[in-house]
């Protein structure tokens, strides 16, 4: 029997009269998969509950921050305690140094952190530092790479734009867009060409070392090494955007996983434990260009907000002391193993740790956005609402990744693999020729 969704529909109809598209972030509108967005009333552990009383095993987990799951007791306790002491101070407090120490302990080569309220702000700040240090204007980003809705980064950017079919955002002045050079991922020659033409004007190269905003496009270590070498050669700043991957795969960053140290790292999501946060970290010699020490300005009324930082401190303390990453890896392996037993050669995921991308096609996993299979996209769209009916909540786009949390169980992972297999069999018109 189909799940009741009448309350969600009524709430969305009202939202449409009050907010553009009825949402506060575009992908939530479900344009890619069709249908009405679910309106969520609560979450606990691995599950969320909608306005109609339906329960779902949640593999969105607020798009990544909830590595411990919804309403993790230590995090809720820390947030409650902090809120009782005041929601915001606009001045210094000890939580700032405590979280800074925890974050920097995961990045042994770095000595400074600056907190703000979002990943977008972190990217804005990192790019401003890079331009201040180098006294140059141009920045290289990569096709499909999303680094927040900062003007200069909204050029061929991200899953939200890919989902809605928008090449770049309206409202971005041409003079700002011209300061962003766009290169394909996994292409050393293209980067080399840009540096040969513009090397003395390039302030920074920014990349997700593990691109996870438009599919999970795992890059060759050699490509990341090349970026490190060429930026050093031309005196440019290398920025790793680890808003998604930071503290998600290990206590630290993905750059350490592959043995490459950038000049700056942007963070968010996990370090806030579900509360709004962003951060830039780096060596003192680079970070001390920030005001009030240096001439690069950044400020924010809610930067270092005590409630957000309390959530981050509680989360990182658990990650540092409990076997969270070991469990997440085991659950990820279980999902891969169970799908491999499905008998469907295209029932696959691309996975790094607890970041999972359903990619329902054969052949090599893509490393560039333009090689993402449209067949895989269509298969995802066909089974999306079937999985909702089965009680599994996914982000509503084939270009988005899933997140496994510490709260998920082996039974929930096994159930997901079974439901994916069953849904693909029910919707696939080529089930016989694609079966092993």
- 411 CB burial (10 A radius; 0-12, 13-18, 19+): exposed
- Catalytic positions, please? 146, 241, 269
Q: Which residues are CB-contacts of 197 (< 8 A; sequence separation ≥ 6)?
A: none
Q: Is the dihedral of CA 45, 51, 57, 63 positive or negative?
A: negative
Give the CA dihedral 220, 221, 222, 223, nearest 10 degrees. 60
Residue among 221, 161, 195 nearest 32 (CA):
161
Question: How many other CB atoms are there within 10 angstroms of residue 154's CB atom?
Answer: 24
Q: Return the residue matching tokens 């092993």.
A: 436
CA dist 1 → 54, 80, 386 (Å): 13, 40, 12
User: Pick from 322, 374, 14: which is nearest to 165 by CA?
Assistant: 374
* 402 and 408 Cβ atoms separated by less than 8 Å: no
Lookup: tokens for 105:
């302990």
- CB distance 266 to 126 below 8 Å: yes
């Amino acid at each position: 029997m189909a799940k009741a969704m009448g309350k969600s529909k009524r709430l969305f109809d009202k939202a449409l009269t009050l907010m553009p598209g009825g949402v506060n972030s575009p992908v939530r509108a479900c344009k890619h998969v069709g249908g009405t967005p679910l309106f969520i009333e609560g979450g606990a552990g691995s599950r969320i509950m909608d306005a109609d009383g339906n329960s779902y095993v949640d593999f969105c987990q607020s798009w990544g921050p909830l590595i411990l799951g919804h309403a993790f007791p230590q995090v809720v306790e820390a947030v409650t305690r902090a809120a009782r002491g005041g929601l915001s101070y606009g001045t210094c407090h000890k939580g700032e140094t405590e979280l800074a120490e925890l974050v920097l302990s995961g990045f042994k080569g770095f000595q400074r952190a600056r907190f703000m309220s979002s990943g977008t702000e972190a990217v804005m700040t990192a790019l401003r530092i890079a331009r201040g240090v180098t006294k140059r204007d141009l920045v290289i980003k990569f096709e499909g790479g999303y680094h927040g809705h900062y003007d200069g980064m909204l050029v061929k950017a991200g899953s939200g734009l890919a989902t809605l079919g928008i090449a770049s955002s309206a409202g971005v002045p041409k003079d700002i867009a011209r300061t962003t050079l766009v290169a394909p991922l996994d292409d050393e020659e293209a980067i080399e060409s840009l540096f040969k033409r513009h090397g003395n004007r390039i302030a920074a190269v920014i990349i997700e070392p593990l691109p996870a905003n438009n599919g999970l496009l795992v890059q060759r270590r050699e490509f990341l090494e090349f970026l490190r070498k060429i930026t050093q050669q031309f005196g440019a700043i290398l920025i790793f955007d680890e808003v998604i991957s930071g503290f998600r795969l290990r206590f630290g960053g993905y750059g350490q996983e592959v043995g490459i140290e950038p000049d700056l790292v942007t963070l968010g999501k996990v370090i806030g434990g579900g509360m709004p946060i962003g951060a830039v970290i780096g060596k003192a010699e680079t970070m001390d260009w920030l005001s009030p020490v240096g001439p690069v300005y950044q400020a924010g009324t809610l930067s270092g907000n005590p409630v957000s930082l309390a959530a981050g401190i509680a989360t990182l303390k658990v990650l540092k002391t409990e076997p969270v990453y070991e469990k997440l890896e085991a659950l990820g392996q279980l999902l891969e193993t169970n799908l491999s037993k499905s008998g469907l050669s295209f029932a696959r995921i691309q996975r790094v740790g607890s970041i999972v991308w359903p990619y329902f096609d054969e052949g090599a996993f893509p490393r560039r956005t333009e090689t993402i299979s449209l067949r895989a996209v269509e298969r995802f769209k066909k089974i999306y609402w079937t999985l909702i009916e089965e009680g599994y909540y996914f982000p509503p786009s084939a270009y988005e990744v899933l997140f496994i949390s510490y709260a998920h169980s082996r039974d929930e992972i096994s159930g997901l693999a079974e439901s994916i297999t069953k849904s693909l069999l029910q919707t696939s018109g080529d089930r016989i020729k694609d079966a092993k």
